[in-house]
Structure 1
Amino acid sequence: MDASFLLITFFLAGLAALGTLSMMSEARAFFVFGDSLVDNGNNNFLLTTARADLPPYGIDYPTHRPTGRFSNGLNMPDIISEHLGAEPTLPYLSPELRGEKLLVGANFASAGIGILNDTGIQFLNIIRIDRQLVYFEQYKQRLSSVVGEAQMKKLVNQALVLITLGGNDFVNNYYLVPFSARSREFALPDYVRYLISEYKKILGRLYELGARRVMVTGTGPLGCVPSELAQRGRNGECAAELQRAASLFNPQLDRTLIELNRKFGSDVFISANAFKMHMDYISDPGSYGFVTSKIACCGQGPYNGLGLCTAASNLCPNRNLYSFWDAFHPTEKANRIIVSQFMIGSSEYMNPMNLSTILAMDAST
């Protein structure tokens, strides 16, 4: 075989590789920031107690093994990736996230974190939101080394972003213990205003880093999760004080997103009404095929709401009949119901537009 033939072969192979990179870089990337509702396994790589790396977590995942997702199977980012026609985003800390995998996006979320840096301190080593944004900057540098600066900026600008924060700032901070430091410092309405002011800075930083399509979830009905039913609820009723916190937080977050969109002159931030999405099936579980929206599938104590989900916990045989997997997190089936509203929900669920509209609109530009 002569040298000229070898040179031509290597040249054609190089063109093919470049073509593959080019096609992959045209696919829409997906970035995820936030807490355990959207963590795909970053905490597996940390010395922390906020982990979902042991059975029965992952019992209904394709591998039937725990992955670090706080679910029996897929979580919200996984299901959104399905709708994007993409593979699930890898945790940023995963050693597999390199080369062409960077073009898919990355998941920076970490169970236990909140808007505030003192939220979740009991979990020790977690990736707080400011560190998640630092990792995003590092990601951009890594991606730039693969596709170049211009292509990196294009990919980030055109990407879809999901951010889920706020619940832990109440459950694992303000209301974590009676007379917590934050509850002594702030009355609830003042605490909510403080959270919103800090969240606004985080969202502004995301914009500075190039995010242009950001879905922002409000908190769900915090008082209705099995943990709060067990500890604070009365006769199975949602805990009123936690519900009040959500009712104060979510409208202020919506107004903040409108203000930011006016500031930036476009619909950068999309409000996802997680409270209503959850309350639909919590209020009427039978209509969604659930036998209960109060009892967790995996746990112990009243409503299976106390302690962790472990191999020694009570475990329901059919996860599709339960809206809650553990004391705090939805089952895969409930996550699919939530994401369906992301996709096609009316303006009372997704404002100013749903994800299907976003994808169709952006595809035409």
Structure 2
Amino acid sequence: MMNPSRKITTVLTFFTLLLFSYQSHASPSPPVTALFVFGDSTVDPGNNNYIPTIFRGNHSPYGIDFPGKLSTGRFSNGKLTTDFLASFLGLKPTLPAYLDPTVQPGDLLTGVSFASAGTGLDDRTARLSSALTMDKELTYFDEAVGKMKKAVGDGETNRVISNALFVISVGTNDMTINLYDQPFGGFKSVSNYQDSLLNKLEGVIKRLYQKGAKRFIVSGLPPIGCVPIQITIESLKQYPRMFKRACSDEQNNDSRFYNSKLQRLALRLNQSLSGSKILYLDIYSPILDMITYPEKYGLEETKRGCCGTGKVEAGPLCDTWSPTCEDPSKFLFFDSIHPSQTAYSSIAKNVSVSLFPLL
């Protein structure tokens, strides 16, 4: 029998797709002009290189499979999902970080990422990581708009923004860093905290909408309980002697309930924000499928990362001195937190097939 929460998610996903199928058939949309990205380390191509934080990926072994084997600040062995999306859309081979000093005003016209590793919807999460808050990311977007208008004028800038795709990937750090490590932070329950996060996410979407953004892809949470470092933490708590490594069903359930609420939020905003298309990106199911059926994706290891032991290393702990696996493409995760290029590529292909037609 199907799990009730899974049934709810399936029904919501069906109606979301039905809604956007109708909209896309009603009025074909113009091509995507640019890709603007907000969020955390899953979509940060190196903004943290230019702020005072230890959460950086601009050192080896990060980037060992990136073009030129460059450690750009991406927390992976290669490209991120948003790099692949930029390429699929025909915009540019990879998506640069806004704070990269080599980025010119002309580069902004096809998109950049404002994301910062370690951030969350809750400002307290960002402060714990010394990352950019979501408000700061949005302020940088406002700054970028000013630069574009100065370069090409108001009319062209407005055209670019209204036809751009805005991707938001954030929330995991709020759960892992802020909630699970510092229970509830004054909130009565996990559900109560999730409602607060989604209220903040709604504010982010509306602020971008007011600036002319119309097309959004908003990522849900992954199966947090299967992230290697969470497996390590939970295994130590529950099995201090045996150190049995297993996914946390409780944390995975939290992710599923959050995602169900996010889908309802997306439906509501599509009805209230005229002319908008806000699509929910399910990353929970694809990642869980990779864990359950790794051979389908050419994977061999799904419960630890390629870097070091793969159980705790990430950011400053995953460095030049850390031994790495022989073939990162066989690993779902590159470090104990972040997916490998193989996983990011698979998610991007899923987006291009399931969501791009709805834009």
- Relative to the length of structure 1, the TM-score reads 0.84
Residue 207 of structure 2: aligned partner:
205
Tell me the equivalent position of 2:322. 313
Aligned length: 319
Partner of 1:59: 64
| 1:103 alignment counterpart | 109
String of CA shifts for 1:226-257, please: whole Å, max 9, x gaps: 10111114633211232122022110011001
Contact 1:304 1:314 in 2 (8 A): no
Of 309-318 and 160-169, more deviation after overlay is shown by 309-318
Query: Take 1:202 and 1:253, find their aligned partners in 2: how far apart are those partners?
Result: 13
Q: 2:307 aligned to 298, 308, 311, which one? A: 298
Residue 342 (structure 1) aligned with residue 343 (structure 2): no
Deviations 1:287-307 (A, max 9, x none): 21101111211133xx53355
Partner Cα separation in structure 2 for residue 257 and residue 267 of structure 1: 10
More deviation in 307-316 or 63-72? 307-316
1:279 aligns with 2:305: no
CA distance in 2, matches of 1:160, 1:166: 20
Q: Would you say the 8 A contact 1:27–1:104 is kept in 2?
A: no
Offset, 1:52: 0.4
1:330 to 339, 354, 357: 339
Q: Which has the larger radius of gyration?
A: 1
CA positional deviation for 1:267: 4.5
| Separation in structure 1 between the aligned mates of residue 313 and residue 37 of structure 2, nearest angstrom | 29
Q: Which residue of 1 aligns with 2:119?
A: 113
Counterpart check, 1:166 vs 2:156: no
2:99 to 93, 106, 111: 93
Query: How far has the Cα of 1:182 moved from its partner?
Result: 3.1
Match of 1:241? 250
Is the deviation greater in 94-103 or in 323-332?
94-103
The one-letter code of the counterpart of 1:221 is P
Equivalence for 2:187: 185
In structure 2, give the amino acid aligned to 1:106. Answer: V
Shift of 1:27: 7.0
Structure 2 equivalent of residue 153 of structure 1: 158
Cα distance in 2, alignment partners of residues 239 and 249 from structure 1:
16
Residue deviations 1:100-157, cap 9 Å, x none?
Answer: 2121212100000000100132322x21101111111111110001110011101000
Which residue identity lines up with residue 203 of structure 1 in the other structure?
I
How far off its partner does 1:357 sit? 4.2
Query: Structure 1: which 5+ runs fail to align?
Result: 1-25, 346-353, 359-365
Which residue of 1 is the match for residue 233 of structure 2?
A: 231
Deviation of 1:75 after TM superposition, in Å, equals: 0.6
Q: How many Å apart are 1:184 and its aligned residue?
A: 4.7
TM-score, normalization: structure 2? 0.85
Instruction: Find the counterpart in structure 2 of residue 215 from structure 1.
Output: 217
Amino acid at match of 1:91: A
- The answer to whether the aligner puts 1:68 opposite 2:68 as a matched pair is no
Q: For residues 47-74 of structure 1, give each alpha carbon's deviation from its aligned partner in whole angstroms, at most 9, with x where no partner exists.
A: 1011001100011111112000001010
- Aligned partner of 2:128 among 102, 122, 126: 122
**Contact 2:49-2:56 within 8 A present in 1 as well:** yes
SS in 2 for 1:33: strand
Residues in 2 aligned to 1:103 and 1:188: alpha-carbon distance in whole angstroms: 40
Equivalence for 1:41 = 46
Report if the CA contact (8 A) 1:320-1:333 is conserved.
yes
* 2:251 aligned partner, one-letter code: L
Conservation of the 8 A alpha-carbon contact between 1:37 and 1:70: yes
The residue type equivalent to 2:128 in the other structure is Q
1:103/1:266 Cα in 2 relative to 1: closer, same or farther (>3 Å)?
Answer: closer
CA distance in 1, matches of 2:144, 2:228: 37
The residue identity in structure 2 corresponding to 1:163 is I
Q: Is the 8 A contact 1:342 1:355 kept in 2?
A: yes
Which whole-Å CA distance do the structure 1 matches of 2:276 and 2:213 have between them? 11
Partner SS state of residue 119, structure 1: helix
**CA distance change for structure 1 residues 144 and 197 in 2, over 3 Å: closer, same or farther?**
same
- What amino acid is the match of 1:80? L
What SS does the corresponding residue of 1:299 show, helix, strand or coil? coil
- Does structure 2 retain, via aligned residues, the 8 Å contact 1:227–1:328? yes
Structure 2's unaligned 5+ residue stretches are 1-30
Deviation, 1:99, is 3.3
Secondary structure in 1 matching 2:97: coil
- Letter of the aligned partner of 1:74 in structure 2? K
